[in-house]
Structure 1
Amino acid sequence: MKLGSLKEGGRDGTLILVSRDLTKAVRAAGIAPTMQQALEDWGNAAPRLNALYEALNAGSAEGAFDLDAQALAAPLPRAYEFVDGSAYLPHVERVRRARGAEVPESFYVDPLMYQAVSAGFLGPRDPVKVVSEDYGIDLEAEIVIVTDDVPMAVTPQQAAVHIQLIGIVNDVSLRNLIPPELAKGFGFLQSKPRSALGPVFVTPDELGDAWRDSKVHLPMLTHINGEWFGAPEAGVDMQFDFAQLVAHAAKTRPLSAGTIVGSGTVANEDTALGASCFAERRTVETLRDGKPSTPFMAFGDTVRIEVLARDGRSVFGAIEQRIERQAAP
């Protein structure tokens, strides 16, 4: 299934099924008014949603309409939790090497993860608004998964069955605010504003054999201002799979239905495949040339993030955003 939310019906939007080719949609209000309500009753809602999805693809769903990407909210407009990992160790290794630091051994056996902003997500066409370019505006193209209710202390094997949906996110970062925050020893706050989710979440079966070992084995394609920026393989060099990330997050607490878990910036050992964030590109430049030459993003810049199946189909739809100045209140 492919599921999204319209910008109607309040802060949590209106749940819709979206056709496999991302051209048609139908409201699912008779089954679950919102994505969150569907996830909280997933065992009952999923079979009914799937039946409606099949009817939509067959052209027999009553009330079907042409999909307008501008009308889409984030698939899950707000979530109880968003925990973001850093599962791609080549990125971590390069960043630390660029500043002359070693990677602690624990990083290879214990995932990096932090509690991210979940009170609201930008829609796939919403602008990213920032007060100042001096903050160091960056994107982070990532894969995310969404869980149903996850018990505390699950094993990775047990966690895998709680992964119900998969999507993409632009995890916006303000790089120049990160160092002073981390120096305090208490984590991110001002440096991590709201992120943008892709147009739709999909069930794992939609990916076919591209979903295996709790990883998405497809490239993460990013364009900046219409120019190719990178297409690293999301299933390669991922030190911790999503089942491991879910189990890590649930070690000392249960996770509520609708919890979003992020992969961290997709990055490969092979730098010829490009980058999924400016920090990665700047790190490669620093290691090669002694200093970065690519600036962070500026007002007016555009970003497009997408995952394409091997046949060229867009799996989740594209995040397409413009960086804009946030006016003073």
Structure 2
Amino acid sequence: MKLGSLKSALSKDGELCVVSRDLKTAVKATHIAPNLREALESWKDKEASLQKLYTDLNEGKAANAFPVKESDFHSALPRTWLFADGSAFIYHIKLVRMARKAALPETLETVPLMYQGECGQFLAPTEDIPQRDFAHGTDFEGEVGVVTDFVPMGVTPDEALKYIRLFVLINDVSLRGLIPEELAGGFGFFQSKPASALSPFAVTADELGEAYKGGRVHLPLNVTYNGQFFGKANAGAMHFHFGQLIAHAAKTRNLAAGTVIGSGTVSNDDHASGSSCLAEKRMIEQIENGAIKTPFMKAGDTIEMQMSDAQGQSIFGKISQKVKAV
């Protein structure tokens, strides 16, 4: 099924909606749960009712269905308890470490990298990206993410896959100019990782069909920057699968229902696939041409991300944002 959060003046969590497979119509599901966060917290009790409403909507039987306008929707999960962002694409790690002249971790291929990001306020998928100082080096990062049920501490990677409830896309906004100094202090990301955005719609695994296998989504992430092709890297190239990322996050704690786990920037070592962030493109320019040509984002720049199925149908809707000076 496909779920979304309609914007509401009454709640920062929005109103839970079921969205049709073709993303053309939706129906409120607030009689089942007021919002998606609370639906996830009682998923076993709510899933069947949501699935029934989804079936009725796709068959044209749902009362009070309305046309979808993506700008009316928050990020699929407007806020939650935890956003833990991994870095599961080895080639991306190599490029960005090269860009800031940092050594690769000795455990690069055995232990996932992960940081805890802002989760109390995701930007809406059509909301401007605010930037107060362009010396900060504003960048986008296109990712795939999962939303979990309650996950017990110490879960194994294979067991962890069973706790995935939904999939989303993520634009993990990064301030590249602040990252080196923050990391040099030895205490990790904070100021360099402001609010990110999720796709307008979250989907269950069955909506991905055969593209979801081995704990990975084997589909390209289509990225358009300022109206031009930027990347189509395949998300199936994750070195660590989502079960491994979840297990890493849950090594020393339980994960609350509604936890978002990000894949990290989708990246392929085939440069013809393009990139999913500016930092990677800049490093490739340095390697191939000896000089960086692409600047970081400035006011008015636009970024779009979406993922389509084998028939070309958008799965999650579109993240479509513009940078705004504030």
Task: Give the drift of 1:288.
Answer: 1.8
Task: Give the drift of 1:166.
Answer: 0.1
* Cα deviations by residue, 1:242-286 (Å, 9 ceiling, x for unpaired): 010000000000000000000000001111100000000001111
Residue 186 (structure 2) aligns with: 185
Residue 143 (structure 1) aligns with: 144
Residue 210 (structure 1) aligns with: 211
* 2:100/2:180 contact within 8 Å kept: no
Task: Give the drift of 1:99.
Answer: 5.1
**Could you tell me which amino acid in structure 1 is paired with residue 316 of structure 2?**
F
Aligned residues: 325
**Off by >3 Å, runs of 4+ in structure 1:** 97-102
Task: Give the drift of 1:208.
Answer: 0.4
Aligned equivalents of 1:30, 1:63: Cα separation in 2 = 13
| Structural mapping, 1:193-204, within 5 Å | 193-204=194-205
* Cα deviations by residue, 1:12-39 (Å, 9 ceiling, x for unpaired): 1100000001010000011111101100
User: Which secondary structure does the structure 1 equivalent of 2:22 belong to?
Assistant: coil
Residue 318 (structure 1) aligns with: 318
* 1:147/1:257 contact within 8 Å kept: yes
Task: Give the drift of 1:93.
Answer: 1.5
* 1:91/1:267 contact within 8 Å kept: yes
Aligned equivalents of 2:44, 2:100: Cα separation in 1 = 48
**Could you tell me which amino acid in structure 2 is paired with residue 53 of structure 1?**
Y
User: Which secondary structure does the structure 2 equivalent of 1:129 belong to?
Assistant: strand
Task: Give the drift of 1:75.
Answer: 1.1
> Structure 2: 5+ residue runs without aligned partners?
none
Aligned equivalents of 1:99, 1:300: Cα separation in 2 = 27
Aligned equivalents of 1:103, 1:171: Cα separation in 2 = 22
> Structure 1: 5+ residue runs without aligned partners?
none
* 1:98/1:287 contact within 8 Å kept: no
Residue 111 (structure 1) aligns with: 112
Residue 60 (structure 1) aligns with: 61
1:38 aligns with 2:39: yes
Identity within the alignment, % = 49
* 2:166/2:203 contact within 8 Å kept: yes
1:154 aligns with 2:169: no
Aligned equivalents of 1:198, 1:33: Cα separation in 2 = 20
User: Which secondary structure does the structure 1 equivalent of 2:158 belong to?
Assistant: helix
Aligned equivalents of 1:177, 1:171: Cα separation in 2 = 15
**Could you tell me which amino acid in structure 1 is paired with residue 190 of structure 2?**
L
**Could you tell me which amino acid in structure 2 is paired with residue 219 of structure 1?**
P
**Could you tell me which amino acid in structure 2 is paired with residue 24 of structure 1?**
T
Residue 294 (structure 2) aligns with: 294
Residue 92 (structure 1) aligns with: 93
Task: Give the drift of 1:311.
Answer: 1.1
**Could you tell me which amino acid in structure 2 is paired with residue 289 of structure 1?**
N
Residue 220 (structure 1) aligns with: 221
Which stretch of the first structure deviates more once superposed, 78-87 or 6-15? 6-15
TM-score, normalised to structure 2, is: 0.98
**Could you tell me which amino acid in structure 2 is paired with residue 287 of structure 1?**
I
Aligned equivalents of 2:12, 2:303: Cα separation in 1 = 25
Aligned equivalents of 1:100, 1:304: Cα separation in 2 = 29
User: Which secondary structure does the structure 1 equivalent of 2:261 belong to?
Assistant: strand
**Could you tell me which amino acid in structure 2 is paired with residue 325 of structure 1?**
A
Task: Give the drift of 1:102.
Answer: 4.4
